[in-house]
Amino acid sequence: MPTKSKNENLRVVLVSTRNPLNIGAVARAMSNFGFDQLCVVNPYEKAFREAKSAVGAADLLAHAKEFPTVAEAVAGCSLVVGTTAVRHRELHHTVRRLEPAARLIKKHSLSNNVALLFGSEKYGLSNDDMSHCNWLLRIPTIDRNISMNLGQAVAVCLYELIREGRTITKEKTTLKLASAEEMERITTLLLDVLHGSGFLKRRQVSDAYARIRRVVRRLNWPERDATVWTGMLRQILWKLRKGGPPEG
Amino acid sequence: MPTKSKNENLRVVLVSTRNPLNIGAVARAMSNFGFDQLCVVNPYEKAFREAKSAVGAADLLAHAKEFPTVAEAVAGCSLVVGTTAVRHRELHHTVRRLEPAARLIKKHSLSNNVALLFGSEKYGLSNDDMSHCNWLLRIPTIDRNISMNLGQAVAVCLYELIREGRTITKEKTTLKLASAEEMERITTLLLDVLHGSGFLKRRQVSDAYARIRRVVRRLNWPERDATVWTGMLRQILWKLRKGGPPEG
């Protein structure tokens, strides 16, 4: 999870956004990933007003800042990164894939302000908008369909900024596996059940026991379930030994 | 960039989605990242029909498949992963963060089918939906606002699946796992055996079936052993139904 201060240094700048649903979606993704500096440049008048009532990120939208120009929106930032779907727009700028781009942005935002620019739904950033950028980033979409929905593009970029890098600490939620003794207890009960049901009599092979033992161990038995499996097998064994007509 | 075949092994399953805009957005993100297997389970009638006219991913939507149940939508998959915003929903399942979860999914999808389930906008996946899952994943949103927009959540998950990580080498040692149908067959037989033995009678709990389904799915059943387990259970069931004194 990122520190608060790091995220405060990054502002999301939406340039000429048309659709209020998209502004709302951007605000929601920012809220999900812990970013709260939203700037809009020259939005379609109505779009920004309507977005303010969008669910899920009301606070963030209420504090969003509106600017008439890109220059004013990025004032105070020492790194300005534009987003583009296009790979080779007569390359005036370096274009970086999102993964390495995010590493540079994260490093920079530790102690400096960074602006991340997204263009309009239809045209993206203009050459003039891009002229304010130090470099561009692109999300690695496939060639057949490079154009992403604005809200989804922002969500993916912000996720990449907060995702854990290589030093991921193991999560505690990993299943603890049953011990060898527990597995042996299950194996023994299963063998008794298989005897009781006639299974082992019908398939007489020399290494039946070892086979069953291997079959049991190829499953990864979670420790938490060892007791319930043991309970099931005990009950089945009891019923087989008791004989008589089935109850269930 | 992933190979075509790997992405073909992953299907996105939307359960009880209400909003046609969201189905359209999901299809667009899938198209952006090169996934084309979309299944919808029990969508609001109108939603699915309207989504079919959504821009950007018409082909994909035209080939989307509709199913009445989760079981049918995940048939043929040997790994079923549910998505959740909640961290500790009385944890019946292991919950993994998206980053390590995606590594497991990528590895698995090299040679097996995987289903990734997303619940309805309002309620997410139900406990019953989740009982079909091997484990759950969560996107690392911040605590203050854990609930993501459906289209954005799908975009972020698929991005994580295609982003460049450390180069994943094919592991020859990976066991091919049993499919969802095989696991369901084992579950059904086990339930019959548990009925026959009186196990389910003695422990009457409201969600006994879902519990057993989860317990079965927490084990990793290798495909090669599915037949022998099925055979054991059939024999036990036969013996329980026949009654009479034990032979073994």
DSSP B19-56: -HHHHHHHHHHHHHHT--EEEEES--HHHHHHHTT-TT
CA atoms of A183 and A35, how far apart (whole Å)? 48
Q: Let me know if residue B170 belongs to a domain.
A: no
Judge: A218–B218 Cβ closer than 8 Å, yes or no. Answer: no
Residues B115 and B65 in one domain: yes
Out of B131, B162, B193, a domain closes at: B162
Out of B116, B135, B162, a domain closes at: B162
Interface membership of A197 toward B (CB under 8 Å): yes
Residue B39: strand pairing partners: B13, B65
Report chain A residues whose CB lies below 8 A from the CB of B145.
28, 31-32, 56-57
**DSSP, residue by residue, B168-237:** PPPPTTPPPBPPHHHHHHHHHHHHHHHHHHTHHHHS--TTHHHHHHHHHHHS--BHHHHHHHHHHHHHHH
Residues B206 and B93 in one domain: no
Residues A26 and A92 in one domain: yes
Q: Let me know if residue A172 belongs to a domain.
A: no
CB atoms within 10 A of CB A123: 11
How many angstroms separate the CA of residue B225 from the nearest CA in chain A?
7
| A-chain residue closest to B178, CA distance | A219
The answer to whether the Cα torsion of A84, A90, A91, A92 is positive or negative is negative
Domain count, chain B: 2
> Considering only CA atoms, which of A218, A106, A221, A217 is closest in space to residue A164?
A106
Q: Is the pLDDT of residue B8 over 60?
A: yes
CA atoms of B166 and A78, how far apart (whole Å)? 31
Q: Let me know if residue A12 belongs to a domain.
A: yes
Task: Give the model's pLDDT for residue A158.
Answer: 97
Is residue B176 within 8 Å of B223, Cβ to Cβ?
A: yes
Report chain B residues whose CB lies below 8 A from the CB of A140.
1, 162-164
Task: Give one word for A124, left, alpha or beta, with left for phi > 0 and alpha for psi -120 to 50.
Answer: left
Residue A67: strand pairing partners: A41
Residues B129 and B230 in one domain: no
CA atoms within 13 A on the CB side of A209: 4
Residues B107 and B43 in one domain: yes
Residues A71 and A30 in one domain: yes
What is the span of the domain harbouring residue B237?
Answer: 180-242
Residues A29 and A124 in one domain: yes
- Of the two residues A51 and B7, the one the predictor is more confident about is B7
Q: Let me know if residue A247 belongs to a domain.
A: no
Task: Return the DSSP state at B118.
Answer: E
Residues B128 and B222 in one domain: no
Residues A127 and A28 in one domain: yes
Judge: B145–A243 Cβ closer than 8 Å, yes or no. Answer: no
* Per-residue model confidence as pLDDT tens digits over A98-144: 999 999 999 989 888 899 999 998 889 998 898 888 899 999 998 88
Task: Give the model's pLDDT for residue A6.
Answer: 60
Q: Let me know if residue A168 belongs to a domain.
A: no
Query: Residue A156's domain is classified under what CATH number?
Result: 3.40.1280.10
The answer to whether the complex's ipTM is over 0.85 is no
SS3 content of chain B, % helix, strand, coil (to 5): 45, 15, 40
Q: If you compute the radius of gyration of chain B from its CA atoms, what whole number of angstroms results?
A: 20
| B-chain residue closest to A157, CA distance | B156
CA atoms of B147 and B141, how far apart (whole Å)? 8
Task: Give the model's pLDDT for residue B4.
Answer: 43
* Per-residue model confidence as pLDDT tens digits over A141-173: 988 888 899 999 999 999 999 998 654 444 444
For A201, the token pair is: 């009599």
Q: Let me know if residue B29 belongs to a domain.
A: yes
Residues A28 and A80 in one domain: yes
Out of A132, A162, A192, a domain closes at: A162
Q: Let me know if residue B222 belongs to a domain.
A: yes
Residues A132 and A237 in one domain: no
Residues A102 and A46 in one domain: yes
What pTM, to 2 d.p., does this model score?
0.77
Q: Let me know if residue A120 belongs to a domain.
A: yes
